[in-house]
């Protein structure tokens, strides 16, 4: 503008390219980790570009979900119905549902290019074991048909539903989800028992990641699930269990193997937190916890 001194004009020009005038900037939030991985928030990516890149690569994207015991009737239909509206719309998708009762899986109408495959699993007695056993089961599935069918896989809890677009912008070699309630807790709290394979030393931990959403390439997830399952087995042999079960082991893995992409809490949001200015477009919403009804 006229009347601006040369150095101020230089600063304005520079900001045009790098700072406040960048339409894809979110100066209100952290958008990059210390190891250079993007933390994606609404407004930091162009969904149309991600969509086009995924189509050019002719990707098949897997979505795994476990629905064992009462979680099946309570959550699975809504999870799948809302996934049809919001998850990787326009891409080739293969759902993998793991349950002990394949016949009870609801029939959800699927759009073209989308398939659903049901795998039978044994029902563990304790809910903690249902949750932890997922790592071993996923490891095997990734080494079999799922691994041959899909290029990238997202692994999710069933007790949530989609509310906004969850598209190929989330894809990367390895993907971790910031926990809506305490993503900064990894540095602040002793998160698990000191003797667990999942233990971190004081001061270790980047963020606290939520096990309700993680993903990546088949190869990366083979490594992740192997390490988590190994840690869980080691703990069991020592007669102990990490405080947050598979989530503790997942956090240990991501401390040692930094995720290539991090999803902001809007990708898996808890409505009980209430409105937050930085959460513009929640994509998955947690169901209220009803453990008394669901867990034995």
Helix axes 218-237, 127-142, angle to 10 degrees: 140
Instruction: Decide if residue 158 touches ligand UDP (CB under 6 A).
Output: yes
37 or 135: CB nearest Mn ion: 135
Q: Which one of 37, 130, 159, 261 is in contact with Mn ion (CB under 5 A)?
A: 159
- Give ∠ CA 155-37-190 in degrees, rounded to 5: 70
- Shortest spacing between CB 248 and Mn ion, in angstroms: 15
Residue 58's contacts (CB-CB under 8 Å, 6 or more residues apart) are 92
- Shortest spacing between CB 212 and ligand UDP, in angstroms: 6
Nearest to 172, CA basis, from 29, 23, 37: 37
The option from Mn ion, ligand UDP, none interacting with 66 (CB < 5 to 8 A, set by class) reads ligand UDP
101 or 222: CB nearest ligand UDP: 101
Nearest to 98, CA basis, from 142, 138, 150: 138
Number of residues that bind Mn ion (CB under 5 A): 2
The option from Mn ion, ligand UDP, none interacting with 266 (CB < 5 to 8 A, set by class) reads none
Q: Which one of 130, 138, 172, 176 is in contact with ligand UDP (CB under 6 A)?
A: 130
- Shortest spacing between CB 87 and ligand UDP, in angstroms: 16
31 or 128: CB nearest Mn ion: 128
Place of tokens 């509206």: 85
Nearest to 253, CA basis, from 194, 169, 175, 144: 175
Judged by CB under 6 A, the chain residues 35 through 94 that form the site for ligand UDP are 65-69, 71
Burial class (CB in 10 A: 0-12, 13-18, 19+), 285: middle
Strand partners, 174: 216
Question: Which position's Cβ is nearest ligand UDP?
Answer: 157
Question: How many angstroms separate the Cα of 267 from the Cα of each of 156, 175, 211?
Answer: 12, 12, 13
CA terminus-to-terminus distance, the chain: 68
- Shortest spacing between CB 225 and ligand UDP, in angstroms: 14
| From 108-116, 135-143, 152-160, 232-240, span contacting Mn ion (CB under 5 A) | 152-160
Burial class (CB in 10 A: 0-12, 13-18, 19+), 191: buried
Structure tokens at 137: 């089961």
178 or 260: CB nearest Mn ion: 178
37 or 191: CB nearest ligand UDP: 191
- Shortest spacing between CB 250 and Mn ion, in angstroms: 13
The option from Mn ion, ligand UDP, none interacting with 206 (CB < 5 to 8 A, set by class) reads none
Nearest to 268, CA basis, from 208, 213, 206: 213
147 or 254: CB nearest Mn ion: 254
Please state the separation of Cα 78 from the chain's center in Å.
18
Number of residues that bind ligand UDP (CB under 6 A): 14
69 or 143: CB nearest ligand UDP: 69
Note the residues at the interface with ligand UDP (CB under 6 A).
Answer: 65-69, 71, 127, 130-131, 157-159, 212, 289
């Amino acid at each position: 503008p006229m009347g601006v001194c040369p150095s101020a004009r230089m600063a304005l020009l520079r900001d045009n390219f790098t700072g406040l005038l960048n339409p894809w900037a979110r100066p209100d939030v952290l958008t990059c980790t210390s190891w250079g991985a993007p933390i994606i928030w609404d407004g930091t990516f162009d969904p149309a570009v991600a969509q086009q890149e995924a189509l050019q690569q002719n990707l098949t994207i897997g979505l795994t979900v476990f629905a064992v015991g009462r979680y099946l009737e309570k959550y699975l239909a809504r999870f799948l119905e809302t996934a049809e509206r919001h998850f990787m719309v326009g891409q080739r998708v293969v759902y993998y549902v793991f349950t002990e009762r394949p016949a009870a899986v609801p029939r959800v109408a699927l759009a073209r290019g989308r398939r659903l495959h049901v795998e039978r699993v044994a029902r563990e007695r304790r809910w903690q074991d249902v949750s932890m056993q997922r790592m071993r089961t996923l490891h095997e599935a990734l080494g079999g048909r799922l691994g041959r069918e899909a290029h990238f896989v997202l692994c999710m809890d069933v007790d949530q539903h989609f509310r906004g677009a969850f598209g190929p912008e989330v894809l990367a070699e390895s993907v971790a989800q910031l926990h809506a309630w305490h993503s900064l807790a990894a540095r602040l709290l002793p998160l698990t028992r000191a003797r667990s394979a999942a233990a971190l030393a004081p001061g270790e931990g980047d963020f606290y990641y939520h096990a309700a959403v993680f993903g990546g390439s088949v190869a990366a997830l083979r490594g992740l699930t192997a390490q988590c399952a190994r840690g869980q087995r080691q703990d069991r042999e020592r007669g102990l269990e990490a405080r947050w079960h598979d989530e503790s082991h997942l956090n240990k893995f991501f401390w040692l193997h930094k995720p290539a992409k991090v999803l902001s809490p809007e990708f898996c949001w808890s409505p009980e937190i209430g409105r937050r200015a930085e959460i513009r477009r929640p994509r998955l919403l947690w169901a209220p916890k009803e453990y008394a009804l669901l867990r034995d």
